Chains A and B, each alone.
Chain A
Amino acid sequence: MIQKKILLLALVVMMLSLTGFGCAKKAAGPGDGTDASWEEQERQRLEQERLLREKMGQASNELAQMIHFGFDSSELSAEARQILTRKSQIMNEYSGINLVIEGNCDQRGTAEYNLALGERRAQAAATYLSNLGIPAARISTVSYGKERPLNPANNEAAWAENRRDEFRATY
């Protein structure tokens, strides 16, 4: 129990020490000079993000609001632009936090093309936020393609729901 508390404290200290700095767009990983395995690094990253979300409270939920896209498109709708504008305000308010944008696709397309399309959707949001003055170093993107559907059904409503960007506050 004590060890767990010490570990959590260390993670919080590490997280706080990172705030206020522009985070590199590329996450750390094997080959970056650390001895930890990829799995261990990933575990640490996720735990740090969980603690950050707890700390941010409601702002974290607002930051997480998704945006949606048309079929085979990465064009931002008026609604999406409005949601992104609000995110830029939150990010200006919380100058120490960064943002991971996760691009997702519907089930109709095929997996590999959708991984690329998901990246394009994530980049569309990232570019918009950059244009609003959020430094590129505070934004990173990852595509899940069609690997993480919110709705696994095979109909127009489900496809529309799955064509989305998700947003995650990070350190």
Chain B
Amino acid sequence: MSKKSLFTAFLFLSFLIAQLGGATGAFAQGALTVNIHGPGQSKMNIVLARPFAAQAQADAAVKLQDLISKNLAFMPFLNIVPQSNVLGQVAGPAAEQIDFKPFLMSKIDVMVTANWTPGGNLGNVELRAFEVYSRQLLVGKGYDSVTEAQLPEVADRFCMELMLKLTGQGGFFNSQLAFVKSSGPKNSEIWTVRPMGRGLTKITEYGDLGMAVSPDWSFDGRRICFTLIGSRSHYLGVWSGGGKPKVYTLPCTSVVSPKFLPSGQIAASLNLQGGKTDIYLLDSNMKPGRALVKSSSIDVSPSFDKSGNLMAYVSDQTGSPNIYLLNMSTGASQRITKFGYNTNPSISPDGAFIAFTRQFGGAQKVMLYEMATGQERQITSGGGTDENPSFSPDGYFIAFSSTRGGEKKIYITTIHGAAPVMVPTGNGPARMPSWGALPQ
């Protein structure tokens, strides 16, 4: 990957200091065209320079550096290079104080500097990211009177700006995952976590009484719906941001793949008519309303774009499960996959892609279908089985569960199939990720 192809636009930059929690420093920015293609291509190399800080701020500086480093390690296309690997001098945090040449020779693409100055609480910090090739400032942010508790948020905000600059999408650091963890053979609970592994929280406590599966975030990031499998029936669970989830009994025994529409309504596959499951809209009282898809076969796993006009789903009307696309306005359905065993569709928020899984022998792999071209390509490979792809709210990343490391865990890749990075979810297997935005 050439450096020229990484950064093609000139950036006119100025540095502003702003209050944390209010408007942060902003720069006039040109559009970058960075796109890291293909799992086999080289990564972008980034150096986090040693922070500049007085003795009193040294601890905070190290902590923030560590948080930024951990955050960036989740970007599958970034390679964090220790500063000690390069002989170049970084005499200060600004461009004119940096000898970029040795970094350029060492194939470093981006350098990040931190400069702490005395102020309220832990002090004030300025964070800068430079493109080494052009020596241009990519991102500059200032945060005043930073407290210990604000350090993770400072790291998230800076990383969000940097990713926005590098990929055009910054939502990764402003998002959350819901997923399923089991602590026994008859037990599964819903958990949430930030994609960087922070804030790991269990939100259901059914023990051996029921299995909570198939979580799905609402588009506003405030609710999670899920299937609760009881001893006599399935139920619909809805968690509203705190406390115990509400459990709804529906007039059927199967409540499969409940999914939120952008409107906040829920659609789910129900067996209202015997053994076959069809996809229904539920009303505000969680009662089945009109059928979105009704056939003599299995219809499951609806997934909606952010307009609410497109719904990808699975139907086995041709004998084996395939991916279909419903235009909600016209009611017209279109078959997307033409062969094989295809399930788990997740449509990107902008409706441009559908990620899904295809069975190869005894394993599933994640595929990506591009609406504009009708082309599909495999974006995960290697050992184990990969399931339940879920688009990030910004549409650039895809979370999925995989047994590639032995135990089932959650990984993140990109629409270009970058090498997957594992999301820390604590001990035990983790599966069925659903990616949602943080509430605004």
A82 to B358, CA, bound (A): 36
Contact A26/B275 with A113-B321, A140-B232 known, Cβ cut-off 8 Å: no
Minimum C-beta distance from B9 to chain A (A):
41
A119–B275 Cα distance when bound, in Å, is 6
B-side interface mostly: strand
Q: Smallest CB-CB separation from A46: which chain B residue?
A: B231
Task: Name the one of B234, B235, B314 contacting A143, with C-beta atoms under 8 angstroms.
Answer: B234
Which residues of chain B have C-beta atoms less than 8 A from A119's C-beta?
253-254, 256, 271, 275, 277
List of 8 A-B pairs having minimum Cβ-Cβ separation, nearest first = A123-B275, A27-B232, A29-B249, A110-B343, A38-B247, A112-B257, A116-B298, A116-B277
Contact A112 B344 (CB under 8 A): yes
B144 at the interface (CB under 8 A from A): no
Total interface residues on A, CB under 8 Å, equals 46
Residues of chain A whose beta carbon lies under 8 Å from any beta carbon of chain B: 25-32, 38-39, 42-43, 45-46, 49, 72, 74, 100, 108-113, 115-117, 119-120, 122-124, 126-127, 140-145, 147-148, 154, 159, 168, 170
* B8, CB-defined interface residue at 8 Å: no
> Within 8 Å CB of B214, what residues of A?
111-112, 115
Q: How many residues of B contact A (CB 8 A)?
A: 53
Instruction: State A117–B316 Cα separation when bound (angstroms).
Output: 10
Q: Are the CB atoms of A29 and B298 closer together than 8 Å? A: no
Given A112-B256, A116-B277, answer yes or no on A32-B249 (Cβ-Cβ < 8 Å): yes
Distance A124 CA – B271 CA, assembled complex (angstroms): 13
Smallest CB separation, A147 vs chain B (Å): 5
Within 8 A of A (CB), among B276-292: 276-277
Distance of A133 Cα from B249 Cα, bound (Å): 29
Once the chains are docked, how many angstroms separate the CA of A39 from the CA of B246?
Answer: 12
Partner pick for B230 among A42, A72, A112, A145, CB 8 A cutoff: A42
A3 vs B51: C-alpha distance in the bound complex, in angstroms?
67
Whether A147 contacts B211 by the Cβ 8 Å rule is yes
What secondary structure prevails in chain A residues at the interface with B? Answer: mixed
> Which A residues are in CB contact (< 8 Å) with B246?
30
Bound together, the chains give a CA A94 to CA B248 distance in angstroms of 33
Does any Cβ of A come within 8 Å of B301's Cβ? yes
| B433 vs chain A, min Cβ distance (A) | 12
Candidate in A38, A147, A168 with the most chain B CB atoms within 10 angstroms: A38
Q: Is B422 among interface residues, defined by CB-CB distance under 8 A?
A: no
- Is the Cβ of B231 less than 8 Å from the Cβ of A30? no
The answer to whether B233 touches A26, judged by C-beta atoms less than 8 angstroms apart, is yes
Interface positions, chain B 308-362, Cβ under 8 Å from A, are 314, 316, 320-321, 341, 343-344, 357, 359, 362
Whether B21 sits at the interface, judged by CB under 8 Å, is no
